[in-house]
Amino acid sequence: MRSIIIAEAGVNHNGDFETAKKMVVAAKEAGADYVKFQTAVPELVISEFAPQAEYQKENTGIEESQLDMCRKIHLPLSAYAPLRDFCREKGIGFMSTPFDLTSIELLADLGQDFFKIPSGEITNLPYLRKIAETGTPVILSTGMSTIEEIEEAIQILTGTHRTTPEGFRPGLTRDDITVLHCNTQYPTPYSDINLRAMLTLAERLGTKTGFSDHSLGIEAPIAAAALGATVIEKHFTLSREMPGPDHKASLEPDELKAMIEGIRHVEEALGDGEKRVTDSERANIEIARKSIVAIRPIRKGETLTEDNIYVKRPGGGVSPMRWDEAIGSKAIRDFRPDELIEL
């Protein structure tokens, strides 16, 4: 199975379109399947009274309202059509996460393979219904959520929730939803990653599952691939020295490339589960295995005993698995020391 790898550019372009284009190129060169941005009309997402998260204050070094911070780092809605076209030109999938209903409409018109729902919107019923109405497959992040909250969000998306209006036909089934295990602390302490929760989500929810990572380093996403993640998402930046809330918990391009290479190596190494002798090791059978050999001169007709035969490399002669057959038999010819015995 090949994981879909999403290079999360987010708002690490700091509201600059040319930087966003450079991030598209970097994601493509690193080997990502998609580069993902975040689309929002800040005034529709954040009230003027919403405070910054502690990690945002720490990472920006500026204490201001969350709204003022986001106004500075988001691209205008008019930037996303040319950004999508640039992704197509460079041969990488375009995605963007909407944070408000207007942004959902914009991205639906632009066309995406998936709608990515961020962790913070998992309890936003009008938002979830709007996404469901598009009929586009969904990737759902689940940071800060209980399994019960995730299940309720899935029911809203599939039109099976108790509050579903009569006549509401979202066109989504559980097969169209991929649930990402996630922790929303930037960066996530290793002790809180809890990758095995991804397996629990798959068992309990009956959906495809994956992993959205906010930890430092590349180990956790590679481990998630080994556990069967169908989608892996990771923040990246052109430089962790850039100002902004998410850069410090993001990979730089060379690290993103190393992560993706590691994931692809793990996927290849997992194989199909069938135990067989591989072509690469077949030539080593004769080198590493052993045969029954003479350990002193043996005359034709002499009885083979533990005193005149032994087991040594190379293989290719009489297998030691025939030891009991060899003991007590007669030598069919003369054998020199270390010569392979014939029966």
Query: Biggest alpha carbon distance in the chain?
Result: 101
Residue 40: pLDDT above 90?
yes
CA 23, distance to chain mean position in Å, is 20
Tokens of 158: 């599939």
Q: At what angle do helices 125-134 and 101-110 cross, to 10 degrees?
A: 10
pLDDT given at position 171 = 86
- What domains appear along the chain, each with residue ranges and CATH number? 4-270 (3.20.20.70), 279-326 (no CATH)
Calculate mean pLDDT across residues 111-128: 98
Using 50, 70 and 90 to split pLDDT, how confident is the model at 237? very high
Dig out the tokens for 259 from the structure: 């992560």
Tell me the per-residue pLDDT of 182-226, one tens digit each, with 9 for 90 and over: 999 999 999 999 999 999 999 999 999 999 999 999 999 999 999
Helices (H), 146-252: 147-158, 196-205, 219-226
Per-residue model confidence as pLDDT tens digits over 283-319: 999 999 999 999 999 999 999 999 999 999 999 999 9
pTM exceeds cut of 0.95: no
* CA gap 213, 198 in Å, rounded: 12
Average pLDDT over residues 7-27: 97
Q: Which two tokens stand for residue 99?
A: 């944070």
What is the structure's pLDDT at 50?
87
pLDDT confidence band for 56 (50 / 70 / 90):
confident
Sorted by sequence, the CB contacts under 8 Å of residue 300 that are 6+ apart come out as 331, 332, 333, 334
Tell me what the pLDDT averaged over the chain comes to: 96
Residue 54 clears pLDDT 90, i.e. is over it? no
From the CA atom positions of the chain, what is the Rg in Å? 30
